[in-house]
Structure formats: structure tokens, C-alpha cells
Amino acid sequence: MTTAAIFFYLFASLAIGFSLVTVLKKNPAVSAFSLVMVFFCFAAIYAILGAHLISALQIVVYAGAIMVLFIFVIMLLNADAPSFDFGRSHIALRVASIVLCAGLFGSFVWVFKNTALSPTLGTFTPDQVQSLGGNTKVLSTLLYTEYLYPFEITSALILAGIVGAVAIAKRGKSAKSPYSQGEA
């Protein structure tokens, strides 16, 4: 087993543990910080797999921007009331969903283990990527040549997202003043 494989297993087990904490903990703040740890573990796994640009983007965008948004909303709402009361009304739903997820996971693992892939390989062999200047340079070149139109459409999507988020989070017409009930 190579050093990279050992580090992969380390970060994979950490990611599974922290994602279980994210899903099962009562306090949303604990879940948010566990999710940050999951994102860092994923960034490490991307780096182990050689996807250096994606690894940097994972840290900057997910662990930086999106998690700040989550923690900001948690602090804004102060909504740390527990919502995971075992054994009251939805116990059948909980058992059914856990059984469903475990069964689907088992079948996925069986398929991954027993299916032989015979793929058509692309042109980006590791040596080719190295000679073209590394992962980041290859991805950047592709982004501004082959994927230029999706990249430009992405900017329109971000603009629509900004306008939509402001329009949704803005106070509705029923309130007298936009800032009348400032305690939210």
C-alpha cells in the first residue's frame, strides 16, 4: 500500500465520521463545523487523486464561502432547537429510510465491485498532463477554450441566483415597512 493510499483511507474514514456527525447531531452549529471538516477531508482526497485545482476550489468555495453563509444563517436565526427527537411520531419513517439507504448502498457497492468497465480512454494520460504544464494549467486551458460557453452561461446563472436570493429573502408586501420587525 502506497503512502497516498494510506492517506486516502485516513481522510476517507475521517470524512465518513464527520458526515455522520453532520447528519446525526442535534445542534446545527455542530453540524456546520463537522461539514467544514468533511469539506477539508474532501479537498485532501482531491489532492491525493491529483486534482489540484479542484482541491483548491473546494477549500476556497465550499469551506470558505458556502460555510460562512451557513454559519451566518445559523447565527442569524439562532435556531439551535433540537429537531431529532427519537421515538415520537416518525420512527417508522426513520427506520424505513435507514433501511432504504443501507440497501441502496449495499447494491451500489456490489455493482461497483462486480462490474468490469471497458471504457474508451481519453487523451489526458498522466504524462501528457505533466508535459502540458500540470493539472491546473490543463483545466484552465480547457475552461477558456472547449468550455467557454458553459463558463459564460455560468455567469448568467450566478446573476439570476443573486437576484433570486434577494427577491426571496426580502420582506413581502404585507409588512408595512421593510425594516419594521427588525428582530428576525
Partner 1 sequence: MNAGISMTSGIVVEPWILLSFCAAIFFIGLMGVLIRRNILIIIMSIELMLNAVNLTFVSLSGPLQDMGGQMAVFFIIVVAGVGSAVGLGLVIAMFRTLRSVDTDDIQVLKG
The answer to whether residue 166 forms part of the interface with partner 1 (CB under 8 A) is: yes
The CB-of-171 to partner 1 minimum distance in angstroms stands at 7
The answer to whether residue 157 forms part of the interface with partner 1 (CB under 8 A) is: yes
SS3 percent helix, strand, coil of the chain, rounded to 5, is 70, 0, 30
The answer to whether residue 44 forms part of the interface with partner 1 (CB under 8 A) is: no
The answer to whether residue 148 forms part of the interface with partner 1 (CB under 8 A) is: no
- Tell me which residues in 86-145 interact with partner 1 (CB under 8 A): 90, 93-94, 97-98, 100-102, 104-105, 108-109, 112-113, 117, 119, 121-126, 128-130, 135, 138-139, 142-143
- Tell me which residues in 57-86 interact with partner 1 (CB under 8 A): 57-58, 61-62, 65-66, 69-70, 73-74, 76-77, 79, 81, 83-84
Burial grade of 25 (CB within 10 A; 0-12, 13-18, 19 or more)? middle
Query: Would you mind telling me the total number of residues written for the chain in this entry?
Result: 184
Cβ-based neighbours of 27, under 8 Å, separated by 6 or more: 80, 82
Residue 122 one-letter amino acid: G
